[in-house]
A and B are shown apart, each in its own frame.
Chain A
Amino acid sequence: MEQTTVQGQSNLVREVLEKGICVRCGACVGICPYFQYHDGKVVVSDWCQTSTWRCVQVCPRLPYDRASLYDYFYHVNDCTDAIGPHRQVVAARSGDKLVRSAAQYGGVVTALVIFAMEEGLVNSAVLTDRGGDLAPKGVLCSDREAVLGCAGSRYSASAALSELNLAIQAGNDRLAFIGLPCQMEALGRLSLSEPDGQERAGHVELKIGLFCTWALDYRALRSYLKTKGIVEIPKKYDIPPPPSEVFIVETNNGRMEFPLSEVREIVQPGCSVCEDMTAEFADISVGTLEGDKQWNTVIVRTDKGMELFEKALRAGVLEQKEIPSSNLEHLKEAASNKRKRALRARGEESNE
């Protein structure tokens, strides 16, 4: 293979890991023995010498041509909509109270994953576990209980793509993947990668993306919580929409609030160059519905996503309502702001 601009592992290490902008998506982990994820961090364990490099082709933090992904997934050259290409945006929630009570907000993600399994659309799904003594990590789930056990948001990245890589390697088919926007980008890049990216990505039947403004560095979060006297594993985290400016942590000892300004200090540096808030390369993207914690904002993007979503509505697994236009405006504004901040941070001109 001719070596052009694409370089190997050392490039990824220099440009991403050493610069501290790895967002722990996990795309480079599990496909080779040289990258590993442990306790909230992706590290290099040894030096690789191969001449075919999957790692640099999938990493969402190496510069790549985003237009090629728009083209591949949506057959458009560019997207001027701040929330990415989509079929519809609605408010939705799980029809099941039990799911809602376990979930972060309306439980759309959990409900959809379980439904996709029960319908046979997927055999299993890679989600993010709750973490224990160590940071949350990806986990392969193939039944309702397991999926329910993963409900709720952990505000640090879990490198769950590594678990997906291993699941594919182990021969699993018809998989669902639930992850952050950076992970959807990485999965998208995988589809375009040599030598076998398309085939690998082909095992992923369903991609559900989460909205994301940023994620925290887990090891820093643990130290931070420790300074606040929290040593047990939190039951739930929450960041209510602006203007509340607080980070909420619920443990067995109750609920504590911390100023968001303090928590921003431990955001992963790599998030500052991320331009995607709504997981533009997912089939369905899910976030909170500002002002109503019992509901989700749902962006349905692909035909496949549409089909599943409608089926779920028909089956009563999901309930929907129209999204207030002010919410949609806010969402677009927030998404557009994130993109602008990222482009500025990357030294690229904002084209808006």
Chain B
Amino acid sequence: MNRISQKKGGTRMLLQANEAIARGALEAGVIFAAGYPGNPSSEIIETLAKASRDLPIYVEWSVNEKVALEAATGASFAGCRAICSMKQNGVNVVSDFLTNLSLSGTKGGLVLVSCDDPGGISSTNEEDARAFAPLSDIPLLEPSSPQEALDMARWAFDLSETINNIVMIRSVSRLSHSRSDVQVKDLPDFDVQPYFDTKVSFHTFPIVAKHQARHEKLRMAEELFENSPFNFYRGPSRPELLVIGSGCAVDYAIDAIEIMSLWERVGVLKLGTTWPLPRKLLLENLQKSESILFVEDVDPFIETNVKALAAEAARQVGVKTFHGRGSGDFPLCGELGPSHLLEFFGNYFDLDWKDQEFRNKMGSLTKGKIPPREFGFCPGCPHRGSFYAIKTALAWDDRDGFVSGDIGCYTMGIWPTGFNQVKSVHAMGSGSGIACGYGKLEGFGFDQPVITVCGDSTFFHATIPALVNARFNNADILLVVLDNSATAMTGFQPHPGTGKTAMGQPTQPVDIAALCESMGLEVHVGDPYEMKETARRLYDLMQKQGPRVMVLRRKCALVQGREGGFPYDMHVDQSLCVGEECGCGRYCTRIFRCPGLIWDKEKKKAMIDQVICVGCGICAEICPQGAIKKEAKG
């Protein structure tokens, strides 16, 4: 049995915050969970999916975030507790539904978890999804530790049912992926009987009255927040500097105070309920100091709102000096780290902060020990073959063609690993949508060919409407579906094309090629490993008009590695390799760039890194001297 499903509470478990959120939801009696994978949120649904083997709960990876929240809402309307998780971009996808749902209200406790990625470590953007709480008038909770993540998740369902509205929890990468010792409680019996009460209905009419009711719900939440244990003050009664913050940032502040022994001079008001802000609590604490420092990720969310509050209550709390991202003391973007806090306190209190020294030491200790690696596709990755074919076809065509990109591992097509072919990346499905635009410019003299790419998971998520649009408006688009049979970027979650659900049950797979054909599109299927042949076919397709699709199908190298591996033993015949000479110019290591190919500095020849090379064999095709040899594995 999975430890997350352990019935009995009262013990401690080492949990990642995302697992703690899942456990908290289970302790609250959640029976329905839905989400769309996306770093750093994916483990929440994954954890619940594992728990579904032991507990009577339902868990799904939905086709996209909006559908995920809609499905979870169905469960809520039928009186069940439901959770829905996603990364920050997902909240954008959800927002249209969310701003309407918060008007209609909910029934069974419904919680939306957004895991934001400050610094965009594994995202296409940096975004503070907290903005959606005020936008849709819903309560917002921000944990700063795995324990709090669990406790907040459990309580959020009570809150949701008290005010009959959806509640948002916001985590960040550092928290979602950090582990600590967490106290767990008992799991309930999960004996709910879903029932939709036809005497009630959920809609947004009359709109203004519902809007007013929504504000009333927020007011109720604020009252509860005033006494919430998730908000607390620590420090002297009249600190020289009052820190107000949330999430990991406030923990960093506490660490810095600790390290610099500043507890007699600095106080911390840690907020766990950040929308609506607990006004009374804030006014009370604002009076403690004339200098206020805000610490939070990413935007000055608390900062801006507290400043407004302080302005309103200036007579009561007095004039303040504010510090924070909004006041220019910290950068307005990027993740707030411990060093920002150390540096700030050091300068503010004129103390020697040692961080730079520490960094120098770190630098000298690690120097030369970490092999340089660029952002790149894995050895054996089918995307390398796909982009090589695309690059070749676009070069042959010679009309300054380019790739309209999308979100997935293949976003790396913007870098040398994808031969810099991808020229734009935005939201899920946008590559094809944008291509619809290019595809209607011919009449104005636009003749650059455009290939748009999307992964199989992205195809289902948001590409289909763009493709229907292309068919409808007869746009000249050539979509290449990079079908690697996995939501690879986020950790191989199943999707509609894989024939398996989040709970591991077999399901009828949706056939991308057949679906496209049914829309009346010209569809071809190819193999990314057959680079020349694929390039030829892409070139031919580029000469045609109207909406066209080429599905390039090959399993993700990591999946293939687990399921039987690769067929070849590779080596470079160095007597044939001409290396830097004319006739090659280090084509394999400089242009093709599979990390399995390395440069033998001494001999000035290429060689195979036998540890990295998986044996897919495709580089044998690209060596102009035929020096890269493949032999069937013995």
Q: Which residues of A contact B (CB under 8 A)?
A: 31-34, 36, 38-39, 41, 43-46, 48-55, 133
Q: Which residues of B contact A32 (CB under 8 A)?
A: 582-585, 624
- Give the distance to chain B from A48, nearest Cβ to Cβ, in Å: 5
In the complex, are the beta carbons of A52 and B581 less than 8 A apart? yes
Instruction: Identify which of A33, A34, A39, A133 contacts B396 (C-beta below 8 A).
Output: A39
Chain A contacts of B587 at CB under 8 A? 33, 46
Q: Does B398 contact A (CB under 8 A)?
A: yes
Say whether A33 contacts B391, CB under 8 Å: no
Shortest A347–chain B CB gap in Å is: 27
Give the contacting residue for B585; candidates A34, A44, A45; CB below 8 A.
Answer: A34
In the complex, the answer to whether A43 meets B583 with C-beta atoms within 8 Å is: no
**Is B590 in the interface zone, CB < 8 Å from A?**
yes
Asked if B189 lies at the interface with its beta carbon under 8 angstroms from chain A, I say no
Minimum Cβ distance to chain A for residue B60 (Å): 45
Q: How far is the CA of A52 from the CA of B583 in the complex (A)?
A: 9
Is residue B287 contacting chain A, with contact meaning CB distance below 8 A?
no
**Which of A44, A48, A50 is in CB contact (< 8 Å) with B395?**
A44
Flag if A50 contacts B540 (CB, 8 Å): no
Q: A33-B591, A43-B396, A49-B586 are in contact. List 20 more A-B contacts (CB 8 A).
A: A31-B583, A32-B582, A32-B584, A32-B585, A32-B624, A33-B585, A33-B587, A33-B624, A36-B395, A36-B396, A41-B398, A43-B395, A50-B580, A50-B581, A50-B582, A50-B584, A52-B581, A54-B582, A54-B583, A55-B582
Q: How far is the CB of B267 from chain A (nearest CB, A)?
A: 59
**Cβ contact within 8 Å between B585 and A48:** yes
* Residue numbers in B under 8 Å from A34 (CB-CB): 585
| Measured CA separation A41–B395 after assembly (Å) | 10
- Interface residue? B539 (CB, 8 A): yes
Interface residue? B622 (CB, 8 A): yes
A332 to chain B, nearest CB (A): 38
Distance to closest chain B CB from A24 (angstroms): 12
Could you say which of B419, B539, B580, B591 contacts A38, with CB atoms under 8 Å apart? B539
Residues of A within 8 A of B398 (CB): 41, 43
CA distance A49 to B583 in the complex (A): 11
Point out residues on B near A: beta carbons under 8 Å: 391-392, 395-396, 398, 419, 539-540, 580-587, 590-591, 622, 624
Contact (Cβ within 8 A) B391 A45: yes
How far is it, in angstroms, between the C-alpha of A39 and the C-alpha of B583 when the chains are bound?
23
Q: Are B392 and A53 in contact (CB-based, < 8 A)?
A: no
Q: For chain A, what secondary structure do more than half of its interface residues adopt (helix, strand, loop), or is it mixed?
A: loop
Chain A residues within an 8 Å CB radius of B582:
31-32, 48, 50, 52-55
- Give min CB distance, B578 to chain A, whole Å: 9
Residue among B391, B586, B591, B622 with the most chain A CB within 10 A? B591
A41 B396 Cβ-Cβ under 8 A: yes
Give Cα A15 to B590, complex, Å: 25
Q: Is the CB of A33 within 8 A of B622?
A: yes
For residue B392, which residues in chain A have a CB less than 8 angstroms away from its CB? 36, 45
User: What's the Cα separation between A44 and B391 when bound, in Å?
Assistant: 11
- In the complex, what distance in Å separates the CA atom of A49 from the CA atom of B176? 45
The 9 closest A-B pairs by CB, nearest first: A38-B396, A52-B582, A50-B585, A45-B395, A33-B624, A48-B585, A50-B582, A43-B398, A33-B587
CA distance A133 to B395 in the complex (A): 18
A49/B590 in contact, CB under 8 A: yes
Which residues of A are found within 8 Å of B539, using beta-carbon distances? 38-39
Contacts of B540 in A (CB 8 A): 133
State A45–B587 Cα separation when bound (angstroms).
11
Q: For residue B543, which residue of chain A has the nearest CB?
A: A39
B444 to chain A: closest CB distance in Å? 19
Measured CB to CB, the nearest residue on chain A to B540 is: A133
Shortest CB–CB separation between residue B549 and chain A, in angstroms? 20
Expressed in whole angstroms, the Cα–Cα distance for A44 and B392 within the complex equals 10
B90 to chain A, nearest CB (A): 38
Sampled A-B contacts (28; CB under 8 Å): A32-B582, A32-B583, A32-B584, A32-B585, A32-B624, A33-B584, A33-B622, A33-B624, A36-B392, A36-B395, A38-B539, A41-B396, A43-B395, A43-B398, A45-B392, A45-B395, A46-B591, A49-B585, A49-B586, A50-B581, A50-B582, A50-B584, A51-B580, A52-B581, A52-B582, A54-B582, A55-B582, A133-B540
